[in-house]
Amino acid sequence: MPDTADILRLESMQVHFPIQGGLFDRVLGRPAGAVRAVDGIDLNIGRGEIVALVGESGSGKTTVGRVITKLAQPTGGRLLFEGEDMTSVRGSSALRPYRHRVQMIFQDAYQALNPRHTVFDVVAEPLRSLRLVDNASQLADRVSEALAAAGLNPPGDFFARFPHELSGGQRQRVVIAGALAVRPELIVADEPVSMLDVSIRAQILQVLVDLRDKHNMALLFITHDLPLAWSIADRIAVLYLGKLVEIGSADEITFNPRHPYTVALRNATPQIGGNADRGKLPALQGEVPSAARVPRGCRFHPRCPLAFDRCREEEPPAIEVGPQHLSACWRSEC
């Protein structure tokens, strides 16, 4: 596939947050460390593609989303949107065209909505601030369109409502409608259904899949839930401590995971009818180390049941283990 097919590319993307040492450390000249939240990620998203970014808390998945939506500034690497380098573009006016095309959906609809704004205001806001409409009737049309696309029907009934008058599922739909209103080409959705009841989740996922099918919109779906990722995504990328450990088609990652971390994640996921593959590898002990103290060698080696000497010394590169399937593990080589 030529690069032009990708709507977005991350090349060696890196976000390090400096740790402010205390006065004592500075006087003694101790080196200040850094939290390596995102530590060299290569990821591409095709037009109309749904990519799921899966990881535990602290893996850096939200930071990746914030880099893509230009809410966080990378400390290294490049962000390419349709081949154009957006890495160092800053400032609200310079970013306006970009914000028009890339939108974000946040996890917590309770916090994302201003309690004093009506649904109409919330959805109209990006249209107004990005100056995408000329008059009031155009604005109303675009707001209606977005609310309908997010599954709030009939849209007119919701215009004058405040967030507290809506159910949790409706609130999340308003957040989605706000992102859709500008007709973006890429949406970054950060755990968009994790706060919702199970019965509502499927409705929201359906809305997101419809957007791709009807408008060829690309989606980066950030989640900690592997089965959920499998149900919505074309490809799944697994993140551990700021680095992608495995990436491949949703089916490959789910049914044929190659990296021991992906396997552990799958085995730990509770499943109806039991998890048939459990027991092939021992359950993981311990917890994710701090991103301020990334282990040397393979960053997963202290918890890896298959680690050997090389893993403690050398960081494994992404190794091709199948078509479009990469795994960063020395064990994948053989």
Figure out which of the listed residues 4, 20, 57, 92 binds other proteins, where binding follows CB under 8 A: 57
Figure out which of the listed residues 138, 283, 296, 333 binds other proteins, where binding follows CB under 8 A: 283
**Using CA atoms, how far apart are residues 51 and 74, in angstroms rounded to an integer?**
21
CB proximity list for 168: less than 8 A, separation 6 or greater? 109, 110, 195, 196, 197, 200
Q: Does the footprint of other proteins cover residue 225 (CB under 8 A)? A: yes
Q: Strand 6-18's sheet: what is its strand order?
A: 34-46, 6-18, 76-81, 84-85
Sign, Cα dihedral of 77, 79, 85, 87: negative
> Crossing angle of helices 136-149/168-180, nearest 10°?
130
| Contact pattern for other proteins over residues 241 through 260, marking x by CB under 8 A | -------------xx-----
Figure out which of the listed residues 12, 73, 153, 271 binds other proteins, where binding follows CB under 8 A: 271
The residue count for binding other proteins (CB under 8 A) is 40
Q: By the 8 A CB rule, do 224 and 194 touch?
A: yes
As measured in angstroms, the least distance from the Cβ of 129 to other proteins is 31
As measured in angstroms, the least distance from the Cβ of 92 to other proteins is 35
Figure out which of the listed residues 226, 238, 304, 326 binds other proteins, where binding follows CB under 8 A: 226
**Using CA atoms, how far apart are residues 265 and 174, in angstroms rounded to an integer?**
32
Give the distance from CA 140 to its chain's centroid: 31
Q: Does the footprint of other proteins cover residue 201 (CB under 8 A)? A: yes
Q: Strand pairing of 76-81 and 6-18?
A: antiparallel
As measured in angstroms, the least distance from the Cβ of 214 to other proteins is 16
As measured in angstroms, the least distance from the Cβ of 87 to other proteins is 31
Q: By the 8 A CB rule, do 174 and 166 touch?
A: yes
**Using CA atoms, how far apart are residues 37 and 16, in angstroms rounded to an integer?**
6
Piece of 23-31, 42-50, 174-182, 270-278 that binds other proteins (CB under 8 A)? 270-278
Figure out which of the listed residues 2, 31, 270, 279 binds other proteins, where binding follows CB under 8 A: 270
Q: Does the footprint of other proteins cover residue 168 (CB under 8 A)? A: yes
Figure out which of the listed residues 31, 115, 273, 279 binds other proteins, where binding follows CB under 8 A: 273
| Contact pattern for other proteins over residues 111 through 130, marking x by CB under 8 A | --------------------
Nearer to other proteins, 169 or 178 (CB): 169
Among 37, 50, 44, which Cα is nearest to 7's?
44
As measured in angstroms, the least distance from the Cβ of 258 to other proteins is 16
Q: Does the footprint of other proteins cover residue 154 (CB under 8 A)? A: no
Task: Supply 15's token pair.
Answer: 């976000």
Figure out which of the listed residues 34, 140, 148, 200 binds other proteins, where binding follows CB under 8 A: 200
Figure out which of the listed residues 27, 28, 136, 276 binds other proteins, where binding follows CB under 8 A: 276
Q: Does the footprint of other proteins cover residue 146 (CB under 8 A)? A: no
What are the b/e assignments for 79-117, b being 16+ CB within 10 Å?
A: bbbeeeebbeeeeeeeeeeebbebbbbbbebeebbeeee
In the chain, which ranges are continuous DSSP H helix?
Answer: 23-27, 61-68, 92-101, 109-112, 119-129, 136-149, 168-180, 198-215, 226-232, 250-255, 260-268, 309-313
SS3 category, 5: helix
Paired with 248 in beta bridges are 236
Nearer to other proteins, 134 or 287 (CB): 287
Piece of 36-44, 65-73, 203-211, 212-220 that binds other proteins (CB under 8 A)? 203-211
Contact residues: other proteins, CB under 8 A: 56-57, 167-170, 197-203, 205-206, 224-228, 230-231, 254-255, 264-265, 267-276, 283-284, 287-288
